[in-house]
Structure 1
């Protein structure tokens, strides 16, 4: 189940026709009653305030485990884009970052409950900040326990391919009626190629346990292309491979904004995190983090 939540939440964001600009949040929420009620949470304080974090000298970030290039453990040390971003935010707040690598649940709702505003039923606790949360206005309107803030990047679907197989230009989904293509099993790319395209490419789709595994298959010439999130493709590019972002006709949204989630009880912390992200975007530090992992960076509209 470790990767199911990320697939499910991206699928929901894309196919639901969501994704208004962040600045429209208040207008979009007008007249919308939240699905999640504050009385369903504990009555006591959850998590730590900004003042307490500064007094303690550290803050904890919940990041997805085994999720290269975003966050993973290497020889016991957390690494990845989101890890470096957590360190950037903590440094701007004058504290140290502590990284908590977590498994994802079956839904984003459950991840937010487990790690942001309540804690798992058995032995659970919340973290100060959760990163890599897809930002969407309509979704945020349904949640009154969580502040969605700190938008730091735009992820989008793309196609990696062998330049020897496609010397003139990168392939588009239509060619996968004839050419083999790799995808992560049960991902948005899998869904798009086999369902949105009305099954026209189903017999040419090769399913792998992860996008990284699919990219290894591309390098081994098992497939001619791989479709998946741009960052995961970029992080696994090898000589003789390239990546591009063609139009994906029939898909409501092929890109989504990534941000942070923080308990509503700690709005001052949310403002401080957003200020740190804004500063990192303005002075190029966040772009440099992406470049350090060989990942193409696209800033969000804030």
Structure 2
């Protein structure tokens, strides 16, 4: 009997140890400051936002993260995010739970998260808030969709309606892919060509396989900057019957780490209001658009 109890006790102890090992500790604000390092999660291989060049992190999100870290007298440590199936999965893997392939690894903050109340309070089929352990805050950029075209093959693009007659390249399983395949009762579908990435879709534009391509504005501007081709131009952005054409991007932290969120907001605000973030984007050849929160502030100031 004693042997049975001993085996049971050892088994229970092992289960407790495994359970404790599976718990990922979120670093408190004081612990982050004491460590001297800010761990920031951002998407890998995602130019012009975040990517590696010659083994070094580059991109507008990387530069912003570095400024945020410096503002707190910390060094930046990048945690590269390989996208999972959904953003909810990415937040789980890097902000509140961790991933079984990276036990014990969490970021202090994640960038390029939608600053959107509807998304923040989205519920599952049981009525539970999916991201209840996440705080989304500090919008720092407004993003929108953008089309680029070759003026040797299309005179102008006042609306996507022209792609009833011209081929356009998009990334597979992207919003532009679904949109162009369904708008105007599907009349653009046969002219919508799908590629593994936006860079391959843009290469198809350069090679004459398609006459245009559509993606996020910063991606398109970045590719145009790299191409340096006077015949590749930005289209007027008219997307009939498209749900969300512009959206704001911000940050996310664990809900227990609001002190870090407040501190990051204090560093971010002057970067936006004093034009530093606009200069940062311009250094990458990108347009910068104020998020809605700051557009409202700017309007109030102008109206006084």
TM-score, with length taken from structure 2: 0.81
Say what the alpha-carbon RMSD is for the aligned residues.
1.9
Find out whether 1:270 has 2:270 as its counterpart. Answer: no
One of 48, 63, 71 as aligned partner of 2:42 = 63
**Structure 2 CA distance for aligned equivalents of residues 221 and 185 of structure 1:** 19
Find out whether 1:250 has 2:238 as its counterpart. Answer: no
C-alpha displacement at 1:45, in angstroms? 7.4
* Structure 2 residue aligned with 1:105: 84
Gaps of 5+ in 2: 1-20, 122-128, 294-304
Q: 1:223 to 1:122 in 2, by over 3 A?
A: closer
Q: 1:76 to 1:174 in 2, by over 3 A?
A: same
C-alpha deviations, 1:276-296, integer Å up to 9, x for none?
A: 221210111111111111111
* Structure 2 residue aligned with 1:131: 111
* Structure 2 residue aligned with 1:214: 201
Pair member with larger Rg: 2
Find out whether 1:144 has 2:132 as its counterpart. Answer: yes
Find out whether 1:260 has 2:251 as its counterpart. Answer: yes
* Structure 1 residue aligned with 2:6: none
C-alpha deviations, 1:143-178, integer Å up to 9, x for none?
A: 3211101211011111101133344x3342111011
**Structure 1 CA distance for aligned equivalents of residues 248 and 192 of structure 2:** 27
Where do residues 11-160 of structure 1 align in structure 2 (5 Å cutoff)?
46-124=25-103, 125-141=105-121, 142=129, 143-160=131-148
Relative contact order, higher structure (CA 8 A, sep 6+): 1
C-alpha displacement at 1:123, in angstroms? 3.2
Query: Secondary structure, in 3 states, of the residue corresponding to 1:280?
Result: helix
Task: Check the 8 A contact 2:165/2:191 in 1, yes or no.
Answer: yes
C-alpha displacement at 1:95, in angstroms? 0.8
Q: 1:261 to 1:144 in 2, by over 3 A?
A: same
Q: 1:297 to 1:104 in 2, by over 3 A?
A: same
TM-score, with length taken from structure 1: 0.82
Find out whether 1:199 has 2:186 as its counterpart. Answer: yes
* Structure 1 residue aligned with 2:11: none
Gaps of 5+ in 1: 1-41
C-alpha deviations, 1:193-243, integer Å up to 9, x for none?
A: 112332201111111111121111112222111111111100001312111
Query: Secondary structure, in 3 states, of the residue corresponding to 1:252?
Result: coil
The number of residues matched between the two structures is 261
* Structure 2 residue aligned with 1:164: 152
* Structure 2 residue aligned with 1:3: none
Where do residues 167-178 of structure 1 align in structure 2 (5 Å cutoff)?
167=155, 169-178=156-165
